[in-house]
Amino acid sequence: MTATSVRASVKRAAPAAPAAGRRRSPYSSWFYLPAAIVYGVLFAIPTFASFFFSLTRWSIFDWKFIGVDNFVTFFQEPALVKGLTNTLIYAVVTSGLKVVLGMLLGILLTSQIVARGYLRSVVFFPVLVSTIGVGLTFTVLMNPEKGLINDALGTLGIAGPGWLTDPKFALLSVALVDVWKGVGLATLIYIAGIVSIPAEYLEAARVDGASAWEVFRRIILPLARPATVTVILLSLIGGLRSFDLIWAMTRGGPGFTSDVIASVIYKQYQAGFYGLSTAGNVVLFVVVTAIVLPLSRFLNRKEVEL
């Protein structure tokens, strides 16, 4: 890293021979070209086009400019507003739980316990399994009458709720399954973060007679901060964009009580309201960037000194 920056400053200090340098440079800019074309045509252009088409009534073949009508609809229709608030709830709940559980599991799985390898594998494996498969499996397990979860709660004398059929619980149930599937990744990131903490710090703390809580509070928590930042940002981005799990489990139901922006986009697309669907995309874009960019600035600014 230092070498690179030194070289950079050397280059900046000697701008006299850029032409000769460029001709001889073995790093040709056209290496960017293939990636730039694919990225530009299929990602950048659609993103920019979405700002325009969100202002139209659109049927792929022709469009009619209608100003901000789509956005007005989006913020007036109760079903669509619900999608917006649900997206925020879902993202905050999943990412909060992933941080807390991921950190606890990370500490547990770096401590001296038996069968650590087994535990790490079993916690991580769901990350790799198909989201739709997990969603359908838990839909069955959460069946209110016959499902395994309510059966188990029943034997304990608790009447389980209609996890996915009760409008109060549907979104949170899906969020819990999302955490079940994603906590392994958070755990793994925390394990990597905790393992990279120099052992001397922990030893020094032990010599000074720090309690387990103090070790956690004063050493692990601040020094695993990059891991926390990564987990928060990754799970927020994922949570805000989340579609497949919700679609597999509730399709936004019952009614539209568990709809999120991404499922609204799909529903409007299916119904042929391409302009409205694209407006949903723009809203999602604004929500994601307005939350993630400032947050990542804020979180990355406060570095701890080692």
Partner 1 sequence: MNARKNYLLSFLAIVVSAVVFLVPFGFILLTAVKDRQQASLLDFSWPHQFQFVQNFLAVVRARDYMLIIAFINSTILTVASVAGMVVLAAMTAFVLQRKQSRWNGLIHGLVLAGLIVPPAVVPTIWVLQRLGLFRTMPGLILVEIAFGLSFCVLLFRAFIATIPRELDEAAVIDGAGPLRLFFRVVFPLLRSVVVTVVVVQSVVVFNDFTNPLYFLPGDQNATVQLTLYNFSSQFTTQYNLLFMNILLITIPPLLMFLFFNRQIVAGMTSGAIKG
Closest CA to 233 of 298, 282, 284, 171: 298
* Shortest Å distance, C-beta 141 to partner 1: 6
CA distance 96 to 260: 18
CB closer to partner 1 out of 89 and 141: 141
Residue ranges of E strands in 59-165? 63-65
* Shortest Å distance, C-beta 132 to partner 1: 5
- Secondary element (H or E) of residue 198: none
Q: Which residue has the tokens 């399954």?
A: 177
CB closer to partner 1 out of 43 and 65: 43
CA distance 21 to 10: 13
Query: And the tokens for 294?
Result: 């400032």
* Shortest Å distance, C-beta 256 to partner 1: 19
Is residue 243 classed as helix, strand or coil in its secondary structure?
coil
CB closer to partner 1 out of 163 and 274: 274
* Shortest Å distance, C-beta 67 to partner 1: 18
What is the separation of C-alpha 292 from the centre of its chain, rounded to a whole number of angstroms?
10
CB closer to partner 1 out of 53 and 90: 53
Give residue 294's identity as a one-letter amino acid code.
P
CB closer to partner 1 out of 92 and 205: 205
Give residue 151's identity as a one-letter amino acid code.
D
| Bridge partner list, 267 | none
* Shortest Å distance, C-beta 242 to partner 1: 10
